[in-house]
Structure 1
Amino acid sequence: MIGLFAATEAGRRDLVELGPFLGSDTVVPDGPVRPALHRLWPRLEAAVIFLGPSSAVRLVAPLLRDKRSDPGVVCVAGEFVVSLGADALAERIADVLGRTAVLSSEGEDGPLDELIELLDATADGDLAGCSAALAAGEHVLLVNPLGFPLPALPDTVLSHGEADWKIVIDDRLPAATRADHEVRLVPRTLVVGVGSGSGVSTSAVASALAELEAGGLDLRAVRAFATADRKAGEQGILEAVEDWGFWHGDTSAPLLTFSAEVLAAVPVPNPSSSVDSLVGTASVAEAAALRGAADLACGGPVELAAQKVKGDNVTVAAARVLPRGRLALIGLGPGSADQRTPQADAELRRAAFVVGSADSVDQVRHLLRPGTGIHTHGAVELASSGLAVAWIASGAGPDAPPAGRDVETVRVPGVAAS
């Protein structure tokens, strides 16, 4: 989502002109800039602020956490559009408004940085060394056992064989100590279900979570916790979730809650009649984990990653949101670049394959990563096999039927001709 923030009348006029060219995933909040920016910041991919750079920096400085999670910022002031980490967007805005783009001094992220951002992953290992190896054209082995759909990568990135460097994408702990030339990316795929008796201690919940880690799961992969709604105020659970965030890089994960009726409808491998008689559902930990994962998967597949583990007055389990193919249905508008949205450009960059007519592909060829496969048909089949696919067409985009449960479908319409 791109947020547009204007504090002056001139800025609001520019905002009205700019908004239609940035696509439907653009929000223009009402009211003063500061509270609106603070409210929307965690959900933004980019913030466009119609103020000078010094004023914009003072606004965003208290919100900054790290390069990978912070939105890019673009300042529009006078005749200049200044990029603070969002060069491509700044160039687009400058084209639309007829201004001069001032780009940040940082170079573009390399493939490894982009993978980390794309997967919303925690990274271990010598990132600088691995990035340098990629930039130098050295062979790098990529291990992706869960099958995340990845963008086109340099042809020196191997899926099998031997190489001096290795990148592993997994939410499980390695069986052996990480090697010096190995980088691990840990995507946030897990939902941990928690069931407990009344008055459970924080340490008991933390110890149970540690058992999941002892069983091979990397708890940095936790995306959410889940429990029965009657446990929403259980202090031991709340404090353990807060402690987890503190020990994992100040990461936050929501605590999802479900009624006993909802949990009772979830099939689980280890139902308990005694739990059923007490709370009205035969499972809390496993059922909450699976239901929470299903909600986050938005119809995609999930699985139980760890069956329930019993602790002192507490039970925990973990479910995994499984990766699936990605199909972006992209509209190119009437044809000119300023009628293609920034989201469309981003989806083209994250695709391993682009499907479309020769004319459509020619319009966007300069945006594609080296090695991107180009096809004239078969988009749904490619995505169904677990790949990241961009299906492009002029106007609003391809008119495609639903691709099925194993494909995440994203629609990116083109900007209508004025």
Structure 2
Amino acid sequence: MIGVFAGVTQRGDAADLAGLLGADAVVPDGPVRPAVQRLWARLGAAVLFLDAGSAVRLIAPLLRDRRSDPAVVCVDAHFVVALAGAADTFARQVADLLNRTAVVTGGPSIDSVLDELVEQLDATADGDIEACTAAIEAGDKVVLRNPLGFPLPALPPNVVAGGEDASWVIVVDDRAASAKDNVLRIVPRTLVVGVGSTRGASATSVGAALSELDAQGGLDLRAIKAFATADAKADEPGIVDAVEDWGFWHGDTAELLTFPTDELAEIGVPNPSSVVRNSMGTASVAEAAALRGAQIIGHGAPVELAAEKFKRDNVTVAAARVLPRGRLALIGLGPGDAEERTPRAEAEIRRAAFVVGTPEAINSVSPILRSGTEVRHEGAGDLAAHGAAVAFVAFGTGPTLDNPVEADVIVVPGVWDR
């Protein structure tokens, strides 16, 4: 929800702005202070038609931290000021809509970059993200290790790909590792775990087998995106309950995918079993279900077997990984006016390490580029095919590609549908 708060004399301006911001925007009735306090927990963003001093005094008791606070801006006759939360982009958007000047901190903060990286990779952060943020902001050397090659946004220049004697290390990986001081691990959800069991196997037995993915398979269980099994095992209580238990302990949910045995029989696996083939009609349940599930959730991305099957207490588990590949966002900039640009388009531009387009198109988005973003005028497809995060910007409703690209391609119209 976007709350647009104003006193009686400016309620008309607030209503006009809410109409431009879209269906999520509301103009609450009544005095500003109690309205803000009443709705604060539900807000994703807030616009206050107040001077900066009054706005700061109003929101100060409500603020907690940048990651959970709504993006708050205040509006006066000439300026839109970013006050709290990740408000810089929002301030620019509101300023464009109202034909005022945005006052921001000069670019997105580092904690926003790290938070957005966790969100973009559908990941869990393990470590002191605030201390790592402080080290980056202080200009300390921070080493980034990305062994699987996830497409990452532009990062500050003191975050480097290798070397020693760094104050912090950021590791982007789905494999298990022991906790270390001054290491921030970002664990993307890349894994599908295949499960097979005999009839009547308990949830405790299934859970114990899953734990072996960490102990023996070297995988971080927080990287599990989904579980998979054969249709014949879909109602097996031990499997169903173990999946629910995993969600409880990890504060998340993971879907249980099920497949017909004849579909699993078509999947090539390294460890087929004649015993399983004779009883189930497929030579593999755990490995085949893991690979098939990874194919489904990967939407065409390459997959691999991350942990071959192993058996414990009549339960067999295996894990498949959806391999990362480049990301290419095709973004139309409309007629060129910034107020026509959607938040989704701006978010895609900010998450890219490379922005590609004509000089005119690049110039139109330059105010929202992260520090360190590389600008190119051609080669978007090649960059994405080699694993980079790329935004291709062009005037119009949406650029197109002449040739297919081996990357995740996201088409973002980028202009308001009016």
Aligned counterpart in structure 1 of residue 158 of structure 2, from 122, 144, 156: 156
How many pairs align? 376
Alignment-mate amino acid for residue 246 of structure 2? W
Q: How far apart are the structure 2 equivalents of 1:232 and 1:293?
A: 17
Q: RMSD across aligned C-alpha pairs, in angstroms? A: 3.5
SS in structure 2 of the partner of residue 330 of structure 1: strand
SS in structure 2 of the partner of residue 172 of structure 1: coil
Q: Which residue of 1 aligns with 2:371?
A: 370
User: Is structure 2 residue 113 aligned with structure 1 residue 130?
Assistant: no
Q: How far apart are the structure 1 equivalents of 2:202 and 2:384?
A: 46
Q: Which residue of 2 aligns with 1:407?
A: 407
Residue 230 of structure 1 and its aligned partner are, at CA, apart by 2.2
Alignment-mate amino acid for residue 355 of structure 1? V
Worse-matched range after superposition: 353-362 or 281-290 = 281-290
Q: How far apart are the structure 2 equivalents of 1:207 and 1:351?
A: 40
User: Is structure 2 residue 165 aligned with structure 1 residue 166?
Assistant: no
Q: Which residue of 1 aligns with 2:56?
A: none
Contact 2:19 2:25 in 1 (8 A): no
Alignment-mate amino acid for residue 142 of structure 2? V
| Structure 1, unaligned runs of 5 or more | 20-27, 29-46
User: Is structure 2 residue 277 aligned with structure 1 residue 276?
Assistant: yes
Q: How far apart are the structure 2 equivalents of 1:137 and 1:197?
A: 56
Q: How far apart are the structure 2 equivalents of 1:339 and 1:147?
A: 34
Q: How far apart are the structure 1 equivalents of 2:67 and 2:279?
A: 42
Residue 120 of structure 1 and its aligned partner are, at CA, apart by 2.4
Alignment-mate amino acid for residue 408 of structure 2? E
| Structure 2, unaligned runs of 5 or more | 5-11, 29-34, 45-63
Q: Which residue of 1 aligns with 2:311?
A: 310
Alignment-mate amino acid for residue 221 of structure 1? A
Residue 13 of structure 1 and its aligned partner are, at CA, apart by 9.2
Q: How far apart are the structure 1 equivalents of 2:2 and 2:21?
A: 9
After superposition, the C-alpha distances for 1:4-45 in whole angstroms (9 at most, x for unaligned) are 899xxx9999876544xxxxxxxx6xxxxxxxxxxxxxxxxx
After superposition, the C-alpha distances for 1:165-222 in whole angstroms (9 at most, x for unaligned) are 2111111112xx4331211111111110111121111111011111111121010111
TM (norm. structure 2) is 0.79
Q: How far apart are the structure 2 equivalents of 1:54 and 1:385?
A: 48
Residue 125 of structure 1 and its aligned partner are, at CA, apart by 2.2
Q: How far apart are the structure 2 equivalents of 1:150 and 1:82?
A: 26
Q: How far apart are the structure 2 equivalents of 1:305 and 1:234?
A: 25
Alignment-mate amino acid for residue 407 of structure 1? A
TM (norm. structure 1) is 0.79
Q: How far apart are the structure 2 equivalents of 1:219 and 1:154?
A: 30
Contact 1:334 1:416 in 2 (8 A): no
SS in structure 1 of the partner of residue 336 of structure 2: coil
After superposition, the C-alpha distances for 1:267-288 in whole angstroms (9 at most, x for unaligned) are 2111222212222222111111
Q: How far apart are the structure 2 equivalents of 1:284 and 1:242?
A: 20
After superposition, the C-alpha distances for 1:320-348 in whole angstroms (9 at most, x for unaligned) are 01110000111111000011111111111
Aligned counterpart in structure 2 of residue 140 of structure 1, from 130, 139, 142: 142
Higher relative contact order, chain-length normalized (CA < 8 Å, sep 6+): 1
Q: How far apart are the structure 1 equivalents of 2:376 and 2:227?
A: 41
Q: How far apart are the structure 2 equivalents of 1:194 and 1:331?
A: 44
Contact 1:125 1:182 in 2 (8 A): yes
Distance 1:60 1:371, change over 3 A: closer
Distance 1:211 1:251, change over 3 A: same
